[in-house]
C-alpha cells in the first residue's frame, strides 16, 4: 500500500522550518504586513538555513535536496506568513530554477551560488498587460545587434512587465525576461519567436517602478517593470532561442507544486488558529468549540487541508520519479488554492469581529489567499490543463 508518511530526513526538515516559522517569522508578520516592509532579516536567516538552495546541487551552493523538500518548507512557512513563503517560492521556482534547468554551465556558475544561498534574489518577467497565459500577446521585444570591440553582439530589449515578484528589493540581482526575438513559420501565418534573456537589475534602462499597493502579500516585493533600450550580451540568452515560452511552461508545471504546498500551509494555518480560538473563546458560558456548528466547520476545513496535501504529495512524487505530472500539479494547485480561500473565509467567520482585524493571522490569510486562485495560473487555466490531459 502507498505510504504517505514522511521519512526521517523530510520530517526533520519540516519540523525545523515549522519551529523557525513559529518562533522567528510569526512574531514579526503583522508588523511587516502593516508597514508593507520587506523582511530582509527573515530572508537572511532563511538563506543561512539553506532554504533557498534546497533543490539545487551542492556544487552550485545548494543543499542537494529536491523539489519536495522545498514544498515541505513552503507549507510550514505558509501556515504563518504567506508573504515570506511566496518570497522563497518565487526566488527558487521562478528565479533560480530556470537558470538551473536551462542555463549554460557558465550561467549557472555565475548566478546560482548567490541565488541558492539567499544572498541575491531573481525574478521572472513573463506577465505583461496583454500577455501571460496568452503567449501570443507578448509585446516586449529583443533585437540582436552586432557589436564592435569587446562588447560583441548585444540584445536590445524594450517592453513592460507586470506583477514581477522579487524584482525591486535591495538584493534583487536578476530578472529573466521573455521577449519576442523574431518570428517563425511561413505561408502568411508567422508566429512569434519567444526567447528568455537574463537581465541584471543594474543594467541601464531597467526600471522597477513603484511597488504595487496590494490587497495581500504586503510584505512581498512586487513591481511593474519598464525596459527601455536595455542592452545585455548575446550570451545572456537563457536556453535555446525560440524555446523561452515552452521552457517556462515546464517551470510553471513544477512551480504549481510549490504554490500548492504554500496554499496547503495557509489552509492548515487557518485550521490551527480556529482550533485554538474555539478552545479559548467563551460564549453562552462555554467554549465555542463545544458547539457542533463550529466543530463541523473546522472539521470541513481540516478535510480540505488534508485532501490538498495529498494532492501535492502525489504530484511531487511523480515529478521526482520522472513520471508525467502536468495534470497532477494542476489539480494540486487548484485544489489547494481553493482550500486556502475556503478555509480563510470559514476561519474569519469563526473569529467573528476579530477575524476582520489585521493583527489576527486569519484576517491576513483571508486577504492573502485569494491570489492563490490567480497567481502562477488561474483556476480556469488549471481546469483547461486538466481537460486537455483528458483529451478534451
Please tell me the distance from the alpha carbon of residue 63 to that of residue 355, in angstroms, as a whole number: 39
Please tell me the distance from the alpha carbon of residue 87 to that of residue 90, in angstroms, as a whole number: 6
Please tell me the distance from the alpha carbon of residue 69 to that of residue 73, in angstroms, as a whole number: 6
- 317, with CB counted inside 10 A (0-12, 13-18, 19+), is middle
Please tell me the distance from the alpha carbon of residue 226 to that of residue 336, in angstroms, as a whole number: 33
**Contact yes or no for 198/174 (Cβ under 8 A):** yes
Going by C-alpha positions, the residue among 330, 183, 174 that lies closest to residue 259 is 330
Residue 315 CB neighbour total at 10 angstroms: 28
Show the CA angle centred on residue 21, arms to residues 257 and 302, nearest 5°.
Answer: 60
Q: Which residue has the cell 550561467?
A: 107
Residue of 209, 240, 376, 389 marked catalytic: 376
376 annotated active-site: yes
Please tell me the distance from the alpha carbon of residue 175 to that of residue 351, in angstroms, as a whole number: 41
Please tell me the distance from the alpha carbon of residue 99 to that of residue 251, in angstroms, as a whole number: 10
**Contact yes or no for 123/117 (Cβ under 8 A):** no
Please tell me the distance from the alpha carbon of residue 328 to that of residue 114, in angstroms, as a whole number: 32
**Contact yes or no for 310/4 (Cβ under 8 A):** yes
Please tell me the distance from the alpha carbon of residue 343 to that of residue 365, in angstroms, as a whole number: 9
Please list the active-site residues: 376
Amino acid at each position: 500500500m502507498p505510504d504517505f508518511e514522511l521519512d526521517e530526513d523530510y520530517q526533520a526538515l519540516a519540523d525545523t522550518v515549522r519551529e523557525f516559522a513559529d518562533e522567528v517569522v510569526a512574531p514579526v508578520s503583522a508588523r511587516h504586513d502593516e508597514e508593507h516592509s520587506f523582511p530582509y532579516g527573515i530572508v537572511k536567516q532563511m538563506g543561512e538555513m539553506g532554504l533557498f538552495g534546497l533543490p539545487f546541487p551542492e556544487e552550485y551552493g545548494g543543499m542537494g535536496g529536491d523539489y519536495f523538500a522545498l514544498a515541505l518548507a513552503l507549507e510550514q512557512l505558509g501556515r504563518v506568513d504567506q508573504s515570506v513563503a511566496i518570497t522563497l517560492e518565487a526566488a527558487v521556482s521562478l528565479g533560480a530554477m530556470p537558470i538551473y534547468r536551462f542555463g549554460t554551465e557558465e550561467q549557472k556558475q555565475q548566478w546560482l551560488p548567490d541565488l541558492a544561498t539567499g544572498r541575491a534574489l531573481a525574478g521572472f518577467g513573463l506577465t505583461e498587460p496583454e500577455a501571460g497565459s496568452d503567449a501570443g500577446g507578448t509585446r516586449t521585444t529583443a533585437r540582436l545587434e552586432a557589436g564592435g570591440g569587446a562588447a560583441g553582439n548585444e540584445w536590445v530589449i524594450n517592453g513592460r512587465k507586470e506583477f514581477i515578484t522579487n524584482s525591486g528589493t535591495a538584493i534583487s540581482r536578476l530578472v529573466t525576461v521573455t521577449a519576442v526575438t523574431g518570428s517563425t513559420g511561413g505561408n502568411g501565418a508567422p508566429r512569434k519567436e519567444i526567447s528568455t534573456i537574463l537581465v541584471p537589475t543594474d543594467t541601464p534602462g531597467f526600471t522597477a517602478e513603484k511597488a504595487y499597493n496590494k490587497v495581500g502579500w504586503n510584505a512581498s516585493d512586487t513591481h511593474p517593470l519598464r525596459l527601455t533600450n536595455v542592452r545585455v550580451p548575446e550570451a545572456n540568452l537563457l536556453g535555446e532561442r525560440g524555446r523561452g515560452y515552452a521552457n517556462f511552461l515546464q517551470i510553471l508545471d513544477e512551480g504549481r507544486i510549490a504554490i500548492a504546498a504554500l496554499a496547503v500551509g495557509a489552509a492548515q494555518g487557518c485550521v490551527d488558529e480556529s482550533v485554538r480560538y474555539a478552545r479559548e473563546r467563551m460564549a453562552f458560558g462555554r467554549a465555542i468549540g463545544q458547539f457542533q456548528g463550529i466543530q463541523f466547520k473546522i472539521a470541513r476545513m481540516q478535510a480540505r487541508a488534508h485532501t490538498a496535501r495529498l494532492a501535492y504529495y502525489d504530484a511531487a512524487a511523480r515529478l521526482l520519479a520522472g513520471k508525467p505530472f502536468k495534470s497532477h500539479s494542476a489539480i494540486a494547485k487548484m485544489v489547494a488554492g481553493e482550500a486556502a480561500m475556503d478555509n480563510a473565509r470559514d476561519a474569519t467567520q469563526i473569529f467573528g469581529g476579530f477575524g476582520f482585524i489585521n493583527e489576527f493571522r486569519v484576517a491576513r490569510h483571508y486577504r492573502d489567499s485569494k491570489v492563490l486562485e490567480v497567481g502562477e495560473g488561474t483556476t480556469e487555466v488549471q481546469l483547461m490543463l486538466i481537460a486537455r490531459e483528458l483529451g478534451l
